[in-house]
Structure 1
């Protein structure tokens, strides 16, 4: 892990908060979208229960996927501030490279 500056710790905290908030919003949206047939069609009994299980599953998977994706992308860009991390990347602004 190494030593992190206060700015780096703050950035991680903000990114985790962002991931959780957007994950919850996505989960709520997916649940409402998937559970809408229960309200619109007036389903009852086993059909309603099945639709709600599918809605809850979709919401949970959406939440987990969103949080993982946001944090994965943040972690992949965390090394960008290190001078040795950018050395092998041709095509950076101000540099010429065979793929630019």
Structure 2
């Protein structure tokens, strides 16, 4: 997203806001799924205390790491621009 003298247009600011929201929402959703999958058995079943603590800690750690990685990867993709998109909607090649 290039702009004149460092100023962004309203459309560019809106696009960035939407992209940040998407990054945070998708990261939160993926983290919740991973946390539930890893820690779910500890919350549903009566497991020995060391297993219970290990599953909860592992789920928390994996969910946190996934949240950060997902958020950063989406925002880095935003920073690179959208040069891979076709020039016209519905077209797969610029010469089609």
Could you tell me how far apart the structure 2 residues matched to 1:41 and 1:9 are?
Answer: 47
Q: State the Cα deviation string for residues 21-75 of structure 1 (Å, max 9, x = none).
A: 1111011000000112314552131220111000000000111111111111111
Counterpart residue number, 2:7: 3
- TM, length-normalised to structure 1: 0.73
**Structure ranking higher on relative contact order (CA contacts 8 Å, 6+ apart):** 2
Q: For structure 1, list consecutive stretches of 5 or more residues without a partner in the other structure.
A: 81-91, 95-100
Larger gyration radius, structure 1 or structure 2: 1
1:23 aligns with 2:24: no
Q: Secondary structure at the match of 1:10?
A: helix
Q: Which residue of 2 aligns with 1:46?
A: 50
Aligned to 2:79: 75
Q: How many equivalent pairs are there?
A: 83
2:41 to 37, 40, 44: 37
Q: TM-score, with normalisation over the residues of structure 2?
A: 0.76
Local SS of the residue matching 1:77: coil
List structure 1 segments (4+ residues) > 6 angstroms apart after TM superposition: none
C-alpha distance in 2 between matches for 1:10 and 1:39: 40
1:55 is the counterpart of 2:59: yes
Gaps of 5+ in 2: 84-92
